[in-house]
Chain A
């Protein structure tokens, strides 16, 4: 080069960009996605594709034509939203509901707040809750898996959590075994394998994409709250293991609650946030009318993030 660059320091940069971080999240989601496709087959693949494609398309179109600023369009970030949304839907969801959900996630929850980095709520979760209250029938219609792997003990009709009022807490607790860790039939497609989700989470930790504190504090709170209630009356309240392994706790704690934009930045803020999610979700499960509380708990705690960011800061050097 005949003319050289001049800029303030630093002159080098870490090998990390918004795109690379989001790519890592997608890679981390792959094990769970593969397992869900194996169990649910082409239908699941279709939902994933429709959701991801429409999220990317909506984000690009809104950034390009409404904001007229393509810097707002981050393809991998929109993909993450799309995949997470798909993983939170039952496999039988009609395609147009998926598209509607994607439009809500990107258009209303993300872009209307100003786009990437500005949204208050996690787009995928907010869209899921939107669909849940708008289409309660379709959204709780759980079908038996008809994928490439057939499970003998698969049962259809309801999720494990949905079994609680039917069977009672004692019987429901017995349904949870080591097998549940590997695969857990019924419920949203993405929740099928706790192990696959945890593998993805471990990948994110190793790549230093996220820190473990939020996820761990959710797990700990769920375990403690469920433990206390379960000890008090095991016939009414399901135990810690059941509550950790069923529903979207692992998916929510590992991938949704840890979303950069809608979670606190400081470690202690993150811990409080996690404890809040764990506590709220257990309250909804035990006392609410919905069997599943992860989405609502995360959305509620999303609202506290600005406050948590204001109250909790890292330790400053040389200041008490």
Chain B
């Protein structure tokens, strides 16, 4: 049932796709973490317009498919004259989409830090921004890490969307191998193993972190 020659003959091709998938995931994670944290802070600031922006972004993006976000970059932008290559479109789409989920995770983390902490920091003379950055966020990080890890796993899985817009990721190369060799079953099994190589360690790390944090509480 398993045709191992697929793996040995096309190892380089798999590896190229694996590298691109990992690269796109890391870039999108960094982007979505920055944007997501910003949005989370927006949502809990006392400034109303910022709250609206944060809430609107999160509610809107969370309720539309990733594919649609990616198409906005891939088809929408060129229709008004801005052309980015498929890899960039896919990675940007992933970052914009995942940011909405990260914003929620970070917000929950911040809200879990007792209010007294913020009040104490403010009354000892720190500005809102400084109190957030130096007192609240560092405590929130601990709570945020397991859900963030989960989002990263989702991000890696979702990065397969690049294959739809020819983004040279693992899935794209798996398609190419399958249509070159006509061996579909084994080709996708091996592609799946490459994905597991990325996601399983993170999955276990999340479980481990959750158990550890639970013990400390």
Same assembly? no
Binding site for A on B (CB under 8 A): none
Binding site for B on A (CB under 8 A): none
